[in-house]
């Protein structure tokens, strides 16, 4: 396998594997928040803002994967 094919495969794997974790994490955060709001609706506003912050932190992992994939494609 030549270097170009290896770089493309590495970038694809980086994004493929790097997107699974944040997707699962955000899904679990949203599910647990909605479950808690269903049990205690009075604190829904506070939980919703905390959920948005937690999802942004989870999403940063996916963005890091994108940056690494772009470095593999264009800087190496």
21 closest CA partner among 70, 63, 69: 63
Characterize 43-53 residue by residue with b for buried, 16 or more Cβ atoms within 10 angstroms of its Cβ, and e for exposed. Answer: eeeebeeebee
| Ordered per-residue pLDDT tens for the chain, 76 residues | 898 999 999 999 999 999 999 999 999 999 999 999 999 999 999 999 999 999 999 999 999 999 999 999 998 6
pLDDT of residue 75: 87
Q: Are 58 and 22 in contact (CB under 8 A)?
A: yes
Complete domains list, the chain, with CATH: 3-74 (1.20.20.10)
pLDDT of residue 1: 80
Furthest-apart CA atoms within the chain: distance in Å:
60
Report the predicted TM-score, pTM, of the whole model to 2 decimal places. 0.77
**Dist. CA 71–CA 63, nearest whole Å:** 12
């Amino acid at each position: 396998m030549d270097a170009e094919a290896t770089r493309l495969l590495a970038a694809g794997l980086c994004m493929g594997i790097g997107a699974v974790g944040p997707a699962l994490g955000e899904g679990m955060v949203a599910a647990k928040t909605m479950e808690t709001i269903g049990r205690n609706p009075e604190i829904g506003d506070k939980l919703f803002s905390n959920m948005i912050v937690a999802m942004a932190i989870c999403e940063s992992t996916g963005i890091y994967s994108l940056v690494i994939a772009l470095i593999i494609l264009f800087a190496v």
